[in-house]
Chains A and B, each alone.
Chain A
Amino acid sequence: AQTVTQSQPEMSVQEAETVTLSCTYDTSENNYYLFWYKQPPSRQMILVIRQEAYKQQNATENRFSVNFQKAAKSFSLKISDSQLGDTAMYFCACRTNFGNEKLTFGTGTRLTIIP
């Protein structure tokens, strides 16, 4: 079984600043995928970024990047030059590479960007 832990229930940051959201996970698998999903007030779940565990290079998508520390089972999300539209709940999720495709989610971090 997999577990995903997000220890920051809420965060806030000034517009244009950088913010880092934390996530730790536990899995017995060696091959797996990690994801960050964003859920704005519209409720839609939007994929922000993904990381394959066998890739050492940290994933980057425009202003979003991750710090993947496999040995520490840590997967943090950095948002640079934060914008008002980044205000949302952010969920970290994990799935294995084989067999069961289900996503295991953390409890989420509510991020507020302050104008």
Chain B
Amino acid sequence: DAGVIQSPRHEVTEMGQEVTLRCKPISGHNSLFWYRQTMMRGLELLIYFNNNVPIDDSGMPEDRFSAKMPNASFSTLKIQPSEPRDSAVYFCASSSRGQDEQYFGPGTRLTVT
């Protein structure tokens, strides 16, 4: 199994630009999670989907952030417009029904200048 796949691994962009992060969960997993890691706030959940439906988006910072899961094998996290304070590592994770643990992707390091 290839594990959770995220792209890009690194993204550097200028303030005001649109950024799209991508995630492919492990095949057969029905829950997908987006986490953000910063020095100030640590690891925090942004949003998670179950069977492609958003269940908890209370962690999404503001309207500049949006996430979609058009099918079971793909999800995007979009930031528009990006700001320097969005600089962080963004992780995608997935899990399957009846499974306790979540499997994390390698993360995307986003730098907004």
Contact = CB atoms under 8 A, between A and B. Distances in A.
Interface of A: 33, 35, 37, 42-47, 50, 52, 91, 95, 100-108
Most chain B CB within 10 A, of A46, A100, A106, is at A100
A55 to B, nearest CB: 12
B70 interface: no
Given A105-B42, A105-B43, A43 B101 contact: no
Interface of B: 31, 33, 35, 42-45, 48, 50, 55-56, 59, 89, 91, 93, 95, 100-104, 106-107, 109
B48 A43 contact: no
7 contacts: A43-B107, A43-B109, A44-B107, A45-B91, A45-B104, A101-B102, A103-B33
Contacts, number: 51
Contact of B95 (A44, A101, A104): A101
Contact of B102 (A42, A43, A103, A107): A103
Contacts of B106: 42-44
Contact of A101 (B42, B43, B48, B91): B48
Given A101-B50, A101-B95, A108-B42, A43 B89 contact: yes
A35 B33 contact: no
A6 B33 CA distance: 23
Given A43-B107, A44-B106, A101-B95, A91 B101 contact: no
B45 A102 contact: yes
Nearest to A106: B42
A49 to B, nearest CB: 10
